[in-house]
Amino acid sequence: VFSAGDFADHEQVVFVADEPSGLRAIIAIHDTTLGPALGGCRMYPYASEAEALRDVLRLSRGMTFKAAAANLDLGGGKAVIIGDPRTQKTPALLQAMGIAVERLGGRYITAEDVGTTVEDFGELHKKTKHVVGLPVELGGTGDPSPTTARGVYYGLLAAARHRWGEDQLAGKTVAVQGLGNVGWHLCELLHAAGAKLVVTDVDDKRVSRAVAAFGATSVPPEEIYGARADIFAPCAMGAILNDETLPLFRVEIVGGAANNQLALDHHGEALRARGILYAPDFVINAGGMIRVASEREGFDEALVDRNVKGIGDSLLAIFQRSESEGIQTNAAAMLLARERLSSAATHRL
């Protein structure tokens, strides 16, 4: 099922089993050149260990580039617990996972992810200190979503500057897909900045609230891609930039919080060919990660804000690189992240 290349660039992959609690998990540390490997711990009923392994290898690699692009002194890692979070999650299982994380001595730092909650991390935290994203009562920084939204907002300002010569969004129309934790906060920031909003969500109540709160126009979920707007901000699910949606777009900029927005790599090239400026997802949505990472050195709101504003600067460098080299923005972002990694590796020698 696997080829040698699947493991070629991982520093360490740990298989965890704890019979009394039924824990089966894999922790993948992809790269610690820039610092300890940070990444969420997912719980999912994978059909096989091979499927779980494939997921954790792919996700941990992605975290290395996300941290590098966000200028954080952190590496990339990820953990997966094999099991159904609705039926198999117990305090004993979570604590056994905490012990497994602790055994790595801080080389891997864990956080909440799909299938795990901040409350679960209270249990993990009983056995390891290498946890971030804890609730405020446990010494953490609480919900990262407003900070993620702020990063997306700064990223859109940078995109506006690159595309229209001015970093302001007053009078521009932004189509926001998804009014959840991040999408809602983003709407607040855009509305305060004088942008007009076109919104959609599968939850009608959220849509009505946005219409009332922001004077937004609403469209059914499938019509958001063709909405008449200047910017499309995907804040719901991934793979929304694909063969079906791209021909519908009338916007000039795409930038939002959703992970893995490009269905396939070549859709980044297709956006470029259509003259649409794409803010790579792993760069523009790093605000939450910047916030939780700051817990390690003592949370400092002003420093976090400076680093989150830095998302805009990183994007400007990416847009310029994309233009000067004639490559899609996603590829330019990867190049810059790889350069940061190799320069750090050289300095370490």
Do the beta carbons of residue 284 and residue 330 sit within 8 Å?
no
**Which among 66, 78, 89, 172 is annotated as catalytic?**
78
Binding mask 273-292 vs ligand NAI (x if CB under 6 A, - otherwise)? ------------x--x----
CB count in 10 Å sphere of residue 208: 12
Closest CB 114 distance from ligand NAI, rounded Å: 8
- Which is nearer to ligand NAI, 100 or 241 (by Cβ)? 241
Smallest CA-to-CA distance from 70 within 317, 321, 263, 260 is with 317
Q: Which stretch binds ligand NAI (CB under 6 A): 64-72, 103-111, 123-131, 179-187?
A: 179-187
Size of site (CB under 6 A) for ligand NAI: 24
Q: The tokens of 231 are what?
A: 């910017």
Asked whether the beta carbons of 163 and 296 are under 8 A apart, the reply is no
Asked whether 180 and 258 are in contact (CB, 8 A), the reply is: no
Sequence length of the chain is 349
Q: Least separation, in Å, of the C-beta of 164 and ligand NAI?
A: 25
Q: How many CB atoms lie within 10 A of CB 86?
A: 9
User: Is residue 78 annotated as a catalytic residue, yes or no?
Assistant: yes
Residue nearest to ligand NAI (CB): 180
Residue 170's SS3 state is coil
- List 116, 148, 314, 322, residue binding ligand NAI (CB under 6 A): 148
* CB closer to ligand NAI, 159 vs 236: 236
State which of positions 187-246 bind ligand NAI (CB under 6 A): 200-203, 206, 221, 235-237
Angle of helix 49-69 relative to helix 329-348, nearest 10 degrees, comes to: 80
Candidates 210, 159, 204; CA nearest to 183 is: 210
- Nearest residue (CB) to ligand NAI, 234 versus 268: 234
What lies within 8 Å, CB to CB, of 62 at 6+ separation is: 76, 282
Bridge partner residues of 27 (DSSP): 14, 79
- Interface residue with ligand NAI among 56, 79, 182, 187 (CB under 6 A) is 182
Told to check if 110 binds ligand NAI by CB under 6 A, we report: no
Active-site residue numbers?
78
Q: Which residues bind ligand NAI (CB under 6 A)?
A: 144-145, 148, 177-183, 200-203, 206, 221, 235-237, 257-259, 285, 288
